A = this chain, B = another copy of it.
Amino acid sequence: MNQHVTPIEIDIDLSEELQAAVAAGDAVQLDSLLERLSLSEALRELLNLTVEERGSVLTLVSPEMAANLIEEAPHEVAADLMEGLETERAVEIMDELDSDVQADLIGDMEHEEAEAILSQMDAEEAADVRRLSEYEDDTAGGLMMSEVFACADTMTVSDVIKVLAKDDDDVDRYRGQHPYIIDGTGRLVGVVSLRGLLATKRAALLTTIMVEPKTVLANATLSDLGDIFDKFDFLGVPVVGDDGKVLGVVSRDAVSQALLERAESENLKLQGVVGDELRSMPTWLRSRRRLAWLSANIVLNMIAASVISAYEETLLAVIAIAVFLPMVSDMSGCSGNQAVGVTMRELSLGLVRPKDAFKVWLKEISVGVINGIALGILIGIVAWIWKGSPALGLVIGAALALNTMLAVSIGGVVPLLLKRIGQDPAVASGPLLTTVTDMAGFFFVLSLATLLMPWLV
């Protein structure tokens, strides 16, 4: 009988059993309950508990299960969970994790808690973690692990096979790396394929079957790494210093994970959420972070609204315009956001560079002219029929057409300009776009109306 691992258990609700097991301090029951769930379900149940209960669960279950849950959690949540534990327990959990995950966790934790954990860890491991956590996130240095399947250049095929056949954690931690051959001075000189190992006599020296390794420097970016793993079938790529010595290995998995996290965090930022929000975080923290972004936005909104304020007389003369002001600004905002979306995607696929701004603008304006005219005619006819004034239709239609062209231009190009000046396009593109399209939308409608006033009243 095969063991289907999915659907594991659909929609079971274990919260009550979990709470009961936590209250009873029943470690065996907790482990068996959580084993029935997938990791994301188990994490969901964990985060539904109170902060104290979360600590109890992570203290009671097996260190493996606790480590799996910590690894499944988004970074900031994982650091919070670790900070809530006794140092001794936190160290037990750390021992189950790969060094790249250890370094991320330590980097995300408060200094004091991090130091407490490091001081109780194995000295060599702690030194590795300190070293890894100094590299920037989303670079080869920040993504690499220190566990390297390093073999001396004096080893034979038989020696390596003995290492591989050993049943210990170290080999698992190599995550499918091939054996890297290191010379007497610590420099990486070659790599051996599994096929090479199997097809060669056991007494042969590794150096006789090794090939030249592909390597990266510690400052290689996440996008570089994504490109490399797209191009080559490796499970890992070694990171070397300028002196040719191995610093660590970046696994394919770490890169996939980081790319997914980046896409999800950009998603959040485009929606105006800066930071790693989950609803299991404290209300005041969620509220404060969202407010920070909203308050900046309210100022931008006021600047845009001041345009309306300058034209109050025009509005008083033709009050029907007030009905269409939000429509024109909203619709152009939508058109502009489409352009932002496409640019953000092409950026993440590596299909545009900041210096392609003009090319992007040409592509956007051609769509903007078509859509601007189409939407302008549509809304113009609506305004004409609704309010019985062809001149009003003309004003609203022309304003939307112009503002659509402006909006797609800004939406397409602004993320590239922000990137060029080192700003995060996901955070700032939306607010910038909305402010300009609001201002311009109000201005187009109201100044055209002022111009055509004789035909409007």
Q: Residues of A with Cβ closer than 8 Å to B?
A: 2-8, 11, 38-41, 43-44, 47-48, 68, 71-72, 74, 140, 161, 164-167, 171-172, 175-176, 188, 194-195, 198-199, 212-217, 220-221, 223-228, 230-233, 235, 237, 240, 244, 252-253, 256-257, 259-260, 263-264, 266-268, 270-273, 277-280, 283-284, 286-287, 290-291, 293-295, 297-298, 301-302, 304-306, 308-309, 312, 315-316, 319-320, 322-327, 329-331, 334-335, 337-338, 340-342, 344-346, 348-353, 355, 359-360, 363-364, 366-367, 370-371, 374-375, 378-379, 382, 386, 434, 438, 442
Contacts and interface: CB of A to CB of B under 8 A. Distances in A.
The 3 A-B residue pairs with the shortest CB-CB distance, nearest first, are A271-B341, A40-B350, A38-B227
Contacts of A260: 256, 259-260, 263
Nearest to A161: B198
Chain A contact residues: helix, strand, loop or mixed: helix
A79 to B, nearest CB: 16
B367 A287 contact: yes
A326 B303 CA distance: 12
B349 A323 contact: no
Tally of this chain's copies: 2
A58 B99 CA distance: 42
Contact of A195 (B171, B331, B342, B353): B171
A1 to B, nearest CB: 8
B230 A72 contact: yes
A371 B298 contact: no
B6 A225 contact: yes
Contacts of A382: 302
A294 B175 CA distance: 47
Contacts of A438: 326, 330
Contacts of A316: 316, 319
A341 B273 contact: yes
Contacts of A226: 40
Contacts of A6: 140, 216-217, 220-221, 224-225, 227-228
A47 B152 CA distance: 46
A364 B353 CA distance: 38
A2 B370 CA distance: 52
Contact of A335 (B216, B294, B331): B294
B3 A44 contact: no
Contacts of A338: 271-273, 290, 293-294
A343 B232 CA distance: 36
A223 B260 CA distance: 13
A166 B198 CA distance: 9
Contacts of A40: 223, 226-227, 230, 349-351
Contacts of A263: 260, 263-264, 267
A313 to B, nearest CB: 9
A320 B309 CA distance: 7
A232 B352 CA distance: 36
19 contacts: A3-B214, A6-B216, A6-B228, A38-B227, A39-B230, A40-B223, A40-B350, A167-B199, A256-B256, A260-B263, A263-B264, A270-B270, A272-B334, A273-B342, A277-B345, A304-B327, A305-B324, A325-B325, A326-B438
A375 B294 contact: yes
A195 B165 contact: yes
A277 B411 CA distance: 15
B326 A329 contact: yes
Contacts of A214: 3-5
Contacts of A363: 279, 283
Contact of A374 (B2, B68, B291, B374): B291
